[in-house]
Structure formats: C-alpha cells, structure tokens
Structure 1
Amino acid sequence: MKKAIWFRSDLRTLDNEALYLACQSESAPEAIFLVCEDTWQRHHWAPVKQDFLWRTLEVLNENLSALGIKLHIKNAGRFSNAGGALREFCKEHSIDKLYFNAEYALDEKNRDRAVTAVLENDGVEVSQHHGNLLIKPGMVKNQQGEYYKKFTPFNKRWRAVLAKEVDVTPLKPNSFPNVNTEPLPNISLKTEDSSHYPAGEDAALSKLGQFVGHSVETYKSGRDRPDQRHTSELSAYLAVGAISPVTAARALQQFSPEFPYGLPEGADTWLTELAWREFYQHLMDFEPRLSKGESFQRETDCIQWRDDEEEFKAWCEGKTGYPIVDAGMRQLKETGWMHNRLRMITANFLVKDLLIDWRKGEAFFMQHLIDGSFPANNGGWQWSASVGTDAVPYFRVFNPVKQSEKFDPQGTYIRNWVKELESVPDKHIHWPHEWLSKNQQNEYCPPIVEHKAARERFLATFKQVKHG
C-alpha cells in the first residue's frame, strides 16, 4: 500500500501522529503541502505569519529529505480546490492511503470532509488523526456527557484525562534511504520579513529547552511583565505546528513523577496555558458558530457597537494617548507579536473604552500576528469583550493606567515602544500628559477618550443587553 501524509498546521517530524503512522510501511510515504493563499487572505493571515510558515516549510523539506521523504508543494489557491489537488496528487503517485492531523475551525472541517469524500470516491483511504492536541475533542466531557463551557472545570477534567489516557512517549518516524533535497517551488506570497524568528523544528525545540531549563520556574510570577522575558516564546511555533503540545508536556514531566500533578507552580501555570489552547480548539469543534463571527453568549450579538473609524485607526496605530495601549499596538505592528498581558489590555481598551466591535480587533490581530491562531485569538477576544465562554465579567473594565502601573512599573516597556516618551520620568510615564505640557513637549498624542466616562458608557450599553 502506497501512503502519503498531507501536512497543514503540523510542520514537524517529531510527535506528529499522522506522519508517524504514514511511515509504518516498507517504503517511504510521499508528503504534500497545499498553498491556499486566497483562503489565508480571507482568514486574515498576517504576511509575517505566511513568511514564517514558508521558512518553516523550507526546514521541514530538509528534515523530510533526511528521512527519505519527498515533500511536494502544490498551489491550490483556496480550500475549495483541495479535493481536486489531492485527487490529482494521489493519482500521480499511486497513493492508496492519505494521513492528516485534524483542524477544528469550520472552514477547515468542511475542507477535510470534502477531501475525504473526493478521495474515498476514488478508492483512496483517508486516515484522520489528532496530532495537534494532547487530548482530542470529545474526550473531555462533564458528567452529563457534554462539553465544558467553563475553563476551570475543563482544566480539572483535562488533567485527569491527561494523567490516565495520554501517552507522551516520543513519536519518531521511521527513516528511509535519503533523497536529495530539492528547493521549494517559487510561489509568490504576500509576506513580511519574519527572520527575527528562527524557523523550524530545531529552533522550536531549542526555545523549549531554554524555557524549561531556565525560565519556567519564574513563569507564574513574571509572565505578566512585558518589560521582562519570562514567557516561552513558543506561540508562533505552536501555530504552524513546528512543535507539538505533546513535546511541551513531555518536557514538564521531569518536574514531577505524578505528572500532570505535583508540578512546581511555574511549570503548573504553563501547563494551564497549554490547557487554555486546547480548550479553545475543543470549543471550535463543538460550536461551529464561533467560526462565523458569532459570540458564544448569544444575547451579546445584539450590542450596538460604535462605528468610529477615527478612534479605531488611532487604536490600530498606537495613538490613543494611553501609553501602555500604544506600546502594545506598536510592538504588534513592528514585530508581529505582542505580550499576552498587552493583548488583554489593548483588547479591553478597544471594546470597553471605545465600545468598538471586538470582531474588528480580532481581525486586526490576525492580520498582524506571527502566531495568529484562529481558535486562540477568537477565544481571547471573546474573553476580553465579555461575550465568550468563561469570559471576564462585563462589569470588570481594565483601567489602562492602573494596568500600566502594575505590570510595567518603571515604564521600561512603554519607553521601548513609544519613543516620544523616552524622557518622561517614572512618576509620570503611565499618564504623561500634564508633564509633557509643562515641559512643552507635544510629540505624543492626547488621549482620545476619558476612561471613567467611557467605562460608564460601556456598562450602560451592556446592562441593556444583559438585563433587558
């Protein structure tokens, strides 16, 4: 039987269930990746993410060649062409069985159903696996057999399943006689330079080793400090699948013989972040409407959002007059990444201070994030906007100045990204306008909204929806 693996968001060789199984044969499987730029554009994929994905593919191509596996690249254009492209590929290479790892957003699920129908009609067996998660959807249910709508009970049950039913033994594919590495075809993508992120599986494993070996112990205490480096910096690698959550979990095993229990607080907190990632993937699988721009809390789709393009533009450009917000947005635009605490602060500001639809912010983030993952981004925005599952209560409105004082106390992060404020003393950095005026410095923009009044406006708007 001639086999093939269809790579998507799993661009690695280690702990790749579909690849591992495709290699359980006498001869090397074929490998294929479909470029679907039209769909990526519709899904708001950032140019920097597309560049990072392509560079990751180049590394994967070399790694597969060393295993004796040839990687084929086809330009399908859009998801709707995937069935035809894969049918042609399977005929050309006499493929009898195609393996792939599942994805859970609606368009991806529809694509996979259509591909399965096309190939099975041609006599090609299709084998779907769940190699991008530690625990597949459906395995974490409550006593009524339903999926969890709150994270805390999900996390508790998720860990119980992880302890009893998940084997994190490394999955290493068989190797075959080496093949010559051929360069990837020249496909023109709308990209932005991602070279500040080393690409590929080895780079991801190196970052994991650095984090677990040197930083995870301070993760809980330091992860909310954007002025310091306490995070794993693995999100972009997880988004394209250059590293598996199984690999990450296995790295934490060393800290406790009762894994996933008994972990030191830093490692335990990071495992919880992996659980959040899986929670949002499971929600996508169970609630297709989340892929259609709908809020999890249905009544909140009736909110009358303000359509203020000038204020939205100021938020996008990091010119709101709130230094911590502006620093986060400028970091995003310049690097394609933003610290998670800043993602919460900037999202909260857009929705609750400006009363602008969270979907506009969700799309803007995806258009710029190197680690853009639709389930995680959607879940994070719905949480911040108080419209999602397990969302922050609507009456909890971040005060951006207090957030700044708490998480960037010396203003180091602010000064790094808002250069107009480099000379402002620590005492005034979080709200610099009076100091700037006294010192006749007018390069920095004035605040576009008064927080207290904006908070009252938001609460009044939400109360109408929540309480009729």
Structure 2
Amino acid sequence: MAALVWFRNDLRIQDNPALAQACAEHDKVYALYLFPKTTFVDTHFWSPRKTDLLWRHLQQLQQDLAASGVLLKVKCHDTFSQSGSIISDFCAENGVNEVYFNAEYPVHEARRDKAVEVALKHHNVTTIIKHGLLLVPPGQVKTQQGDYYKVFTPFNKAWRKVLAEHTDWQLTQPTAKQTTVSDTPQIPDCPAPCTDTSSDWPVGEQSVLSKFGQFVGHSLADYHEQRDKPAIEGTSKLSAYLELGVVSPKTLARNLQSLSPSFPHGLEKGADTWLTELAWREFYQHLMFFEPRLSRGENYQKQTQGVPWRDAEDDFKRWCEGRTGYPIVDAGMRQLNQTGWMHNRLRMITANFLVKDLLIDWRKGEQYFMQNLIDGSFPANNGGWQWSASVGTDAVPYFRVFNPIRQSEKFDPDGSYIRKWIDELKDVPTKHIYWPHSWLKQRNQQDYAAPIVDHSAARERFLTTFKQVKNG
C-alpha cells in the first residue's frame, strides 16, 4: 500500500519528520497540498504576497520532490471543513492506507486535523502525526506546577533547558525508494494572484538555506547590535520561510548548535540573541495551543476586554497609508505597503502608535498587518499586537507609550530609513528629519501630512482611559 504526506506549513524536504517517516516505511509515497481559499484569504487574511510566495515555492517543491520519487499534487478548495473528504477521496483513488502530517497548534487548525483523523478512520486509513513545526512541541515546557508559561523570560529559560537535553541534531532526509517522477501534474493557477513579486524573496529550499548561510556568515555576529536599525540589513529575513515551513527551526538551530559545544548555552551575543527570536516564535505558538480564546480575537488579559476604543475610520486610514505626520510611523507603514514586509522595530512603533496615540482597537491593526505581510504569522502577529496594546501576556506596561520622535532618533539616527520611504522628506536635514513640520512650513512645502494628533495629549488620553479599565 501507498502513503500520503499531507503538506501544510512544512513545505520542505530537509528535517521534515512526516515526510522522512513516510518515505522510510513505504515504497510508494504521494504528497498533497490543500489551499482553502475562503479560510486562508477571507478568514485568516493571508496577503497576496504571502500567497504568491507560497505558489512560487510550490512549483519548486514539486520538482524537488519529483526528483526523490514523490508526486506532489496541489488542490484548491473552499474551507477547512472540506479537508477530510478531499483527503479521503485521494486515499481511495490512489490506494493509500496511511497519511502522515506534522501537527499545527492554533485552534482552527487543530480542529481541522481532528476532523480529518475521524474521516480517515471511517475509511480504514491510519494517520501518523509528527511534530515538525517547532523545536519544542507544546506540553514539553512546563512550570513546576505543570502549567504552561505565561511570561516569556521564564519560558525562554525552560525552553533552552529542554533544548540542552535534545540529542538528535542529525539532518533528516527522506530516503528515495522510487524512480524519479517524470509526469508531474500541473499546479492550479494561484487563487490570489500578486503582480508585485519581489526578487527579495527567492523560493526553493536550497535558495533559502543559502540565504541563511549568508546571514550566519555576514550578520549573525553583530545581530544583537544591528537588529534594531531599520536602515540596514541586520536581520535574517527568514520569517516568511519559517511561516510556510520552507526551512525548519531544527535546521536553523543545528547551525547555531555547531557554534557552541554547550548549546543552547555558550553562544556569542549575536547568535544567542537570534536564538531568543526563535524562542519568541515558539512562545506564541505555545500560547495559541493552551489558550484557544486567543484565536477568537480576545485579549489575553481578561480585565482589559472593556477598553472603549475610538471609532475613527479616517484616522485608521491615515495610519494605514502612512500619512500620520509622524515620519518614523509613516516610513514603517509605507515600507509595509510597498514591500509586504516591515522591520520588527517598526512593527512595534507603528502598533504602539495606532493603539496608544490613536486609541484604535489593536485587532484592526492586527488584521491590516496580516492582509499585507508576506510573513504574516497568526500566532506571532497576534502576540506582537497584544504586547503593544498592553493586553497580552508578557505585555509592555500600559503606561509605557512609545514617543515616535524619540524612537526615530534612537533607531534611525541619521534619518536614512525615513528618507528612503518618505519621498516628501528626502531633502530634510537630519536635524529636522524626526519632526520636519516647522522646517517644511518655512519653505512653503506642504506635501507631507500634518500631525494627526499631539503625542503628549494622546498619551494622557490613553493612560486615563486604560487606567479606568484596569481599575474597573
């Protein structure tokens, strides 16, 4: 009998435990990827750029799998609820008796997988579930009381302790037992086409591994110093590939593990800081697993549910378009709109501004990010927005309101990031770049937006509002 590997956010050959086991135990292996357009685009707000990246990568993955004798088929459908019947039919048509896949942890994905298990069982098809999404699956990092960690710093410490006990860092490669597949089926047209395909985002597993190798060789050592400077290429920009599973966190961690015999301890500062970013990614995935209400748009801190957010569509529109009159905020939003990506420091600054200066519901910003980010990850995006809004776990204290001018002075000291993304300010001297309005007015230049709000007054408004809710 044959096996089926159901690909999801694990679109790779290396370090893919579901694919490796299927190939080890079966001579005939099929692969299937399902794209539920309504669920992903309309409900989960996948951006066109993310879908385009996925589709380009699927073309390459199909070729790579074919070289190993695995046939990949791609099917477009409507919603998660159809997954069970589609996979059952595929198994019946191709003589498949075992289906392998890697677990996913948000509530809708977990429910989908359970429904697929039930449907397959009715057709006498066995499901084999592996863990290939995270380095440490949910449930393996617990407090002394057996609960999950609600704060990042102790989670990170415990997570590293589990990693230190991990002994299997060997590369996992599927064994090819078949002849090369020559007649691969055509992949359907992309269901959410994007005309703005960027060369900044190559596809294919080997291209991404090469990208990571360049980061390790050129940027990892200084990562702790350069990662907060948006004007330079100081980050790995692997987030979009981690989100689709083009590269495994195990592959990345193994490279770091080779740098220290006492891994995850003993790393140089840059590598240690980058490992902490992997820990943040896993922390938010664990939260999604243990707190299903996060998938329903609820605040993690229940006492903050009653914040009276402003209904201010014009202000929200100006924020979306990068026309707030605060250069660092506008630069970040324009980078997002033009490229589908935004530097992480700018994600924090723009989110903080929307919630605390404009007092607009964080969920509106969360959705806008997902609709535009090429690396949109629901757990990480949700966690980041709740952190910025001071309503999540491990959240920034509500009384900490970013001053956009101070933030730009600190992280864009010569104004080069602002000038890159705001054409109206390209000639403004560094002395005035963070707050250019007086300089522009003296020269009768009125093409840049006036300030949408007075930061000091907006800060006091937010603090008063939030304090009343907290003290309820």
Shared fold, TM over 0.5: yes
In structure 2, do the counterparts of structure 1 residues 262 and 78 end up closer, same or farther at CA, with 3 Å as the change threshold? Answer: same
Match of 2:24 in 1: 24
**TM-score, structure 1 as length reference:** 0.99
Match of 1:454 in 2: 458
* Root-mean-square deviation over aligned CA pairs: 1.0
Is 2:59 aligned against 1:58?
yes
Deviation at 1:7, TM superposition (A): 0.2
The 2-side partners of 1:72 and 1:384 are apart by 41
Match of 2:412 in 1: 408
Instruction: Please tell me whether the aligned partners of residues 351 and 358 of structure 1 are also in contact (alpha carbons under 8 angstroms).
Output: yes
In structure 2, do the counterparts of structure 1 residues 149 and 26 end up closer, same or farther at CA, with 3 Å as the change threshold? Answer: closer
Deviation at 1:35, TM superposition (A): 1.5
Is 2:14 aligned against 1:14?
yes
Equivalences for residues 130-209 of structure 1 within 5 A: 130-165=131-166, 167-175=168-176, 176-180=178-182, 182=184, 184-192=186-194, 193-196=196-199, 197-209=201-213
The 1-side partners of 2:470 and 2:416 are apart by 39
Instruction: Please tell me whether the aligned partners of residues 428 and 436 of structure 2 are also in contact (alpha carbons under 8 angstroms).
Output: yes
Is 2:431 aligned against 1:443?
no
Aligned-pair identity in percent equals: 59
Deviation at 1:165, TM superposition (A): 3.0
The 1-side partners of 2:46 and 2:107 are apart by 16
In structure 2, do the counterparts of structure 1 residues 253 and 301 end up closer, same or farther at CA, with 3 Å as the change threshold? Answer: same
Instruction: Please tell me whether the aligned partners of residues 74 and 188 of structure 2 are also in contact (alpha carbons under 8 angstroms).
Output: no
Is 2:221 aligned against 1:220?
no
Deviation at 1:72, TM superposition (A): 1.1
Instruction: Please tell me whether the aligned partners of residues 2 and 95 of structure 2 are also in contact (alpha carbons under 8 angstroms).
Output: yes
Which structure 2 residue ranges, 5 or more long, are not aligned? none
The 2-side partners of 1:287 and 1:154 are apart by 16
Greater mean alpha carbon deviation, residues 104-113 or residues 258-267: 104-113
SS class of match (1:126): strand
Instruction: Please tell me whether the aligned partners of residues 58 and 183 of structure 1 are also in contact (alpha carbons under 8 angstroms).
Output: no
Instruction: Please tell me whether the aligned partners of residues 52 and 190 of structure 2 are also in contact (alpha carbons under 8 angstroms).
Output: no
What whole-Å deviation, never above 9, does each CA across 1:73-101 have from its counterpart, x for those lacking one?
12222111101100100101111110111
Instruction: Please tell me whether the aligned partners of residues 353 and 449 of structure 1 are also in contact (alpha carbons under 8 angstroms).
Output: yes
The aligned amino acid for 2:186 is L
Match of 2:256 in 1: 252
Instruction: Please tell me whether the aligned partners of residues 49 and 340 of structure 2 are also in contact (alpha carbons under 8 angstroms).
Output: yes
Instruction: Please tell me whether the aligned partners of residues 61 and 181 of structure 1 are also in contact (alpha carbons under 8 angstroms).
Output: no
Greater mean alpha carbon deviation, residues 431-440 or residues 187-196: 187-196
Deviation at 1:182, TM superposition (A): 2.5
Instruction: Please tell me whether the aligned partners of residues 58 and 184 of structure 1 are also in contact (alpha carbons under 8 angstroms).
Output: no
Instruction: Please tell me whether the aligned partners of residues 135 and 166 of structure 1 are also in contact (alpha carbons under 8 angstroms).
Output: no
Greater mean alpha carbon deviation, residues 161-170 or residues 227-236: 161-170
SS class of match (1:96): strand
What whole-Å deviation, never above 9, does each CA across 1:166-202 have from its counterpart, x for those lacking one?
5221111111311115253333412223332111211
Match of 1:230 in 2: 234
Equivalences for residues 118-137 of structure 1 within 5 A: 118-137=119-138
The 1-side partners of 2:89 and 2:76 are apart by 12
Is 2:385 aligned against 1:381?
yes
Equivalences for residues 264-303 of structure 1 within 5 A: 264-303=268-307
The 1-side partners of 2:457 and 2:148 are apart by 39
Match of 2:312 in 1: 308
The aligned amino acid for 2:438 is E
In structure 2, do the counterparts of structure 1 residues 321 and 166 end up closer, same or farther at CA, with 3 Å as the change threshold? Answer: farther
Deviation at 1:129, TM superposition (A): 1.3
Q: Which of 358, 366, 369 is residue 370 of structure 2 equivalent to?
A: 366
Deviation at 1:459, TM superposition (A): 0.4
The aligned amino acid for 2:5 is I
SS class of match (1:305): coil
The aligned amino acid for 1:43 is H
Which structure 1 residue ranges, 5 or more long, are not aligned? none
Instruction: Please tell me whether the aligned partners of residues 22 and 99 of structure 1 are also in contact (alpha carbons under 8 angstroms).
Output: yes
Match of 2:92 in 1: 91
SS class of match (1:23): helix
Instruction: Please tell me whether the aligned partners of residues 62 and 181 of structure 1 are also in contact (alpha carbons under 8 angstroms).
Output: no
SS class of match (1:165): coil
What whole-Å deviation, never above 9, does each CA across 1:297-335 have from its counterpart, x for those lacking one?
011111100010000000000000000000000000100
The 2-side partners of 1:18 and 1:26 are apart by 12
What whole-Å deviation, never above 9, does each CA across 1:190-235 have from its counterpart, x for those lacking one?
2223332111211210111011111000100010000111100101
Deviation at 1:265, TM superposition (A): 0.3
The 1-side partners of 2:351 and 2:318 are apart by 14
Instruction: Please tell me whether the aligned partners of residues 331 and 422 of structure 2 are also in contact (alpha carbons under 8 angstroms).
Output: yes
**TM-score, structure 2 as length reference:** 0.98
The 2-side partners of 1:146 and 1:466 are apart by 25
Deviation at 1:26, TM superposition (A): 4.5
Instruction: Please tell me whether the aligned partners of residues 49 and 194 of structure 1 are also in contact (alpha carbons under 8 angstroms).
Output: no
In structure 2, do the counterparts of structure 1 residues 267 and 181 end up closer, same or farther at CA, with 3 Å as the change threshold? Answer: farther
Deviation at 1:389, TM superposition (A): 0.5
Deviation at 1:28, TM superposition (A): 3.0
Instruction: Please tell me whether the aligned partners of residues 238 and 245 of structure 1 are also in contact (alpha carbons under 8 angstroms).
Output: yes
The 2-side partners of 1:101 and 1:60 are apart by 17
Is 2:402 aligned against 1:398?
yes
Instruction: Please tell me whether the aligned partners of residues 30 and 70 of structure 1 are also in contact (alpha carbons under 8 angstroms).
Output: yes
SS class of match (1:100): strand
Greater mean alpha carbon deviation, residues 266-275 or residues 185-194: 185-194
